[in-house]
Structure 1
Amino acid sequence: MISYATLVTFFVYFVFLMAVGIYFYRRTSNLEDYLLGGRGMGSWVTALSAQASDMSGWLLMGLPGAVYLWGINQSWIAIGLGIGTFFNWLLVAPRLRMYTGKLHSMTLSGFLGERFGDPTGLIRIISALITLLFFTIYASSGLVAAGKLFVAMFGMHYAIAVIVGAVVMILYTFLGGFLAVCWTDLFQGLLMFIAIIVVPIVGLQHAGGMSAIGRSIVEKGLSTSLFTSGSGIAGIVAIISTMAWGLGYFGQPHILARFMGIKSIKELPKSMTIAMIWVVVSLTGAVIVGLIGTAVVPGLSGGNEEKVFILMIDGLFNPWLGGVLLAAILAAIMSTIDSQLLVSSSALTEDFYKHIIRKEASDKELIWVGRICVLIIALIALFLALNPNSTVLGLVSYAWGGFGAAFGPAVLMALFSRKTGWQSILGGIVVGTVVLVIWKNLGLGSVMYEIVPGFLANFLTVFLLNFKFGQQNERILSEFDEVEQSIAKA
């Protein structure tokens, strides 16, 4: 039976999101406002927006489900992500903000093309196409999560549930752009943080303590140690494969856009501290939820493992508080999809429409093109999400790996390599993406997460091509030196 209290909670939450979208609709006057918030975001908004958009529905559904299904050894995913987050803020954030501000870049694709002085425009175009491909898959994962949430809570038909989630996300992203996305992410990040602390505490008490949970894990035959993935080389490969999620951070356009939009690099140390506290607590909580769930809601199978967090809330809390906590799951889902829709729209608007179709387009025209692109991409993702057999973690892992393999080495070389040429970067992006896709489609992902061979192939390609195509453009070399000097002074 549908809970009246939960319905009211979700309705109020939807109204809040719409209000934010309408509010920022009136404060978006040019394309930079719509895509990057005028590069004026503060430390709190930047930190929580980056991490909320990073973690998505997989934090409260995919990761707990994986731990519930296989055990503690899945914690290596969380460890890898924590390490990746740290180095992304430490190494990438300040240089990317400085460099994109200097070049007036509004998309990752545009930055890579301008940074390396690509005269053909191929880096921008191919990067934008890769962005559209993997973000469509990524966004569909969020809609799958939303569908599963609404089915579990309200007994809705899966297709209708997916459509309802899509409509809400489309509307406030369509209206308010980057500012609406970031400010809703701030609220949603706080809501997720509260939920991931409260639910494990109550669940632990309900389960009867750690000893009861330990017995449940042993009875199910799940991994009870970080180092039980296998023996010898097989165990090492399994650990590397799961930790390799952390490599993906360097190439995620929706996270990197937050670094590009912060007011000043002087805000970054505070943002990094906030982000790291949020990440460590949230990832730890998600792993604990999966373990506690084996005792609180035993017997889940057939893909229902990803509902463990939902079912724990439904069984442990009164409808009003439960409605708020369930809204946190919806927040996790929406905080990522809205970012993905916006970055995909940015790629179409800035990298195709403005630079290829209508170079003389006005800001007002570009904003509306961006909004139409949000709608188009969302409809494609919606179509992909209508398959009820899709798993959240499976879709996220493919898209996350795709971005990491395609863009991770390119971003690192852009920020730290003075002599890399545009031909090398273009070759690396293409090779990294192709290797990842082939590896995935050959079924080798069960042996090693596809981001690893894709990332390494990208880096190796850039390294080898640099012997032939090192950077020779004096303007590009001078820009790199100027950014390095600015970083040193900051």
Structure 2
Amino acid sequence: MTTPDYLTLLLYLVGLFVISSLSAKRTKNQRDMFSAGRSSPWWAAGLSGFMTMFSAATFVVWGGIAYELGLVAVAINTCYGIAALLVGYFVASRWNRMNISTPAEFVRIRFGKTGLHFFTWIMLAKRILGVSVSLYALSKLLIALMPLNLNWAIVFFGSIIILYTMLGGLWAVLMTDVLQFIVLTVVVFMVAVLMIGRVENWADFMAAVPDSFFSPTADRYGWLFLCGWVTIHFFIIGAEWAFVQRFLSVRSPLDARKSAYLFGILYLVTPLFWMLPPLLYRGQVAGVDKEQAYILAAQSVLPPGLMGLMIAAMFSATASMVSSQLNVFAGGLTNDFYKALIRPKASERSLVLVGRVFTSVLGVLLVATAIIVPQLGGAEKLVVTINNLLVVPLYAPALWGLFSRKIGIREMVIVILVSFTVGAVLRFGFAGNPWIVKGDTLYAFAQYLADNTKNVEVLVGVMLPVAMLFAFEWLKKKDDKAAGEVTRMLSEPSAPPSELSDSRFDPFPATMVMTSVLVIGGWIFLLGLWQDESRTELMVFAFALLFLGGALRAWLVRQLRPPTPDVTD
């Protein structure tokens, strides 16, 4: 890392806090804090959902698979797009029509206080553990590039996310996600273009990669896995609170659907683009650590100053996920525990304050958990595995309850406990069990489970809970009592957006995009003037961004211009 790299990273961090401060001025009540006053533009909600799916794993895990196996990584990431499009068609508008402030409010209405406690605390523990591992992985990745102690890196990066999320609420999360999308797109596009320029002979490249490099499947990632991956992420995008929050934050059911469609289309067309650096790097340099392939590919082509932008992109990928989880769970604790169960008559000002306190407390818990991950030895892999075993069993009943009148709290608990228990027994009791040795009766079965873990996770983690829900739907004769309330809420007209969106056009989101594009373009232009390496490419990118920013400014001016009054004779 050079001085220009640190200046680039500093500029990015300053941008986060400027956006957070401006967002804080728009946060007047808890509905603004946790659902953006139902006034977010659909494109901002879609980009935010897109970024929420990112984490350090995008670069480390999927980048490693792209380097090792090729287009398989692209196929796996495309599954997110298919899942998001299905959610847009079947689910997104239904969430918006519920007229609720937080996803937790739906769980309380549909499954009662018992269901709220059961679901919230399990999911909170699940997400704290999962996000902590991601924050740890990000910090471990970045300390290889920066002279920071691992624990201090976790505290530093975690504190930044906590502060801007606490100050600006969901508006800050949405707008910083848009900034992070711009940063990520610019830097990955630059790395891909520069790496394509390094390929002198495509025939040599084809000869240097494995024969199966351009196949969309591999032994561990076959068609069954890909179908299961789509199903898993249909339930994640359709029911995980961070994504549901995006559908609640927009003005109308149509906007909720459009946000999901944007999310899906982006994940259909961009995975090849994101995975190009490690794909191309495999043809240029073989035999490196696959988990380091993405960062090594970037280091091989980025001039000084832009490596800082790459670090900002990696930080943004995880920061988006972390800030989303902090905000949505702080919203659930504020609205559906503190307000609903402790102080029903609490003022809006006090609810915003309590929301910020919950955001801070959850953030500190997350950072503390991330710090102890290295002390777990190999147990962080156990945490990730348990996390994965809970995905569909946890989300499927909640999403099912949005449509079905039969599923209640009893069925939810049965599906979660049975599916998790069966999955855990197969995963830990048989697969890889050192006490089951060759010659034992169960050895062949245990070996099959160990050799086909991905397919077994699909069969048990997806098909079992879904089959149980279908069985309950078919066998249960009576409707659940709480289902009627959901039906009534869905039949009511949508709630109006907050007073911030009373005008026909809200310039704030578009202004943030315009400013971000102009600042990034201007900074790349200065970097191009400062150095000779890749100056032509830097100038082309800079002028393209400045032109785009100028076009956005012209569009904004037209939108804000008062309408010309009609002149009649």
Distance 1:52 1:479 in 2: 30
Alignment of 1:380-395 (within 5 A): 380-386=365-371, 387=373
Q: Residues 411-461 of structure 1: CA distance to partner in whole angstroms, max 9, x if unpaired?
A: 1x2333244444333433444454555555445683436365233333333
Contact 2:108 2:115 survives alignment (8 Å): yes
Residue 427 of structure 1: which of 403, 414, 424 is its match? 414
Matched, 1:38 2:37: yes
Q: How many residues align?
A: 469
The answer for the alignment partner of 1:7 in structure 2 is 6
> Per-residue deviation at 1:89?
1.8
Distance 2:487 2:156 in 1: 47
Contact 1:144 1:391 survives alignment (8 Å): no
Alignment of 1:49-198 (within 5 A): 49-99=48-98, 101=99, 104=100, 106-114=101-109, 116=110, 118-119=111-112, 121-198=113-190
Q: Residues 326-366 of structure 1: CA distance to partner in whole angstroms, max 9, x if unpaired?
A: 32222111111100111222233233333334444333333
> Per-residue deviation at 1:370?
2.2
The answer for the alignment partner of 2:200 in structure 1 is 208
Structure 1: stretches of 5+ with no match in the other structure? none
Instruction: Provide TM-score, normalisation by structure 2.
Output: 0.74
Change (3 A) 1:447 1:59: closer
Distance 2:243 2:385 in 1: 16
Contact 1:40 1:263 survives alignment (8 Å): yes
Change (3 A) 1:453 1:342: same
Residue 313 of structure 1: which of 291, 295, 298 is its match? 298
Greater shift after overlay, 170-179 or 68-77? 68-77
Matched, 1:293 2:281: yes
Matched, 1:255 2:240: no
> Per-residue deviation at 1:213?
3.6
> Per-residue deviation at 1:91?
1.4
SS of the counterpart of 2:148?
coil
Residue 324 of structure 1: which of 287, 294, 309 is its match? 309
Change (3 A) 1:242 1:54: closer
Amino acid at match of 1:373: F
Amino acid at match of 1:312: A
Instruction: Provide TM-score, normalisation by structure 1.
Output: 0.85
Contact 2:401 2:408 survives alignment (8 Å): no
Distance 1:398 1:49 in 2: 27
Higher relative contact order (CA 8 A, sep 6+): 1
Distance 1:277 1:393 in 2: 32
Greater shift after overlay, 54-63 or 441-450? 441-450
> Per-residue deviation at 1:272?
4.1
Change (3 A) 1:420 1:384: closer
Alignment of 1:357-368 (within 5 A): 357-368=342-353
Distance 1:144 1:418 in 2: 41
Change (3 A) 1:267 1:240: closer
SS of the counterpart of 1:153?
coil
Matched, 1:446 2:436: no
Change (3 A) 1:238 1:407: closer
Q: Residues 364-419 of structure 1: CA distance to partner in whole angstroms, max 9, x if unpaired?
A: 333223222222222232233234578999977764663433113421x2333244
Distance 1:184 1:284 in 2: 24
The answer for the alignment partner of 2:233 in structure 1 is 246
Amino acid at match of 2:484: L
Amino acid at match of 2:268: V
Amino acid at match of 2:370: A
> Per-residue deviation at 1:471?
1.4
> Per-residue deviation at 1:137?
2.0
Residue 253 of structure 2: which of 249, 257, 265 is its match? 265
Alignment of 1:216-231 (within 5 A): 216-218=208-210, 224-229=214-219
Distance 1:217 1:107 in 2: 48
Change (3 A) 1:436 1:27: farther
SS of the counterpart of 1:450?
helix
> Per-residue deviation at 1:469?
6.2
Contact 1:134 1:399 survives alignment (8 Å): yes
Change (3 A) 1:205 1:132: same
Greater shift after overlay, 278-287 or 252-261? 278-287
Change (3 A) 1:240 1:47: closer
SS of the counterpart of 1:263?
coil
Amino acid at match of 1:427: I
The answer for the alignment partner of 1:456 in structure 2 is 463
Amino acid at match of 1:111: F
Contact 1:39 1:263 survives alignment (8 Å): yes
Distance 1:164 1:245 in 2: 33
Matched, 1:283 2:282: no
Contact 1:191 1:328 survives alignment (8 Å): yes
Contact 1:348 1:373 survives alignment (8 Å): yes
Question: Root-mean-square deviation (CA), in Å?
Answer: 3.2
Distance 2:117 2:364 in 1: 22
Contact 1:34 1:367 survives alignment (8 Å): yes
Change (3 A) 1:441 1:37: farther
Q: Residues 163-207 of structure 1: CA distance to partner in whole angstroms, max 9, x if unpaired?
A: 211111111011111111011111112222233333223223224
The answer for the alignment partner of 1:333 in structure 2 is 318
Greater shift after overlay, 288-297 or 447-456? 447-456
Q: Residues 282-319 of structure 1: CA distance to partner in whole angstroms, max 9, x if unpaired?
A: 32223333322323454332xxx333222222220112
Amino acid at match of 2:292: K
Structure 2: stretches of 5+ with no match in the other structure? 432-448, 495-569
Distance 1:279 1:324 in 2: 22
Greater shift after overlay, 283-292 or 312-321? 283-292
Amino acid at match of 1:112: V
Q: Residues 93-123 of structure 1: CA distance to partner in whole angstroms, max 9, x if unpaired?
A: 1111112x1xx3x332321331x3x45x111
Distance 1:107 1:237 in 2: 34
Residue 470 of structure 1: which of 478, 484, 491 is its match? 478
Amino acid at match of 1:344: F
Amino acid at match of 1:404: V
Change (3 A) 1:311 1:41: same
Q: Residues 32-89 of structure 1: CA distance to partner in whole angstroms, max 9, x if unpaired?
A: 1111111111122111111111223322333112222344334442232221111112
Contact 1:72 1:224 survives alignment (8 Å): yes
Change (3 A) 1:364 1:56: same
The answer for the alignment partner of 1:404 in structure 2 is 392
Amino acid at match of 1:291: L
Contact 2:139 2:150 survives alignment (8 Å): yes
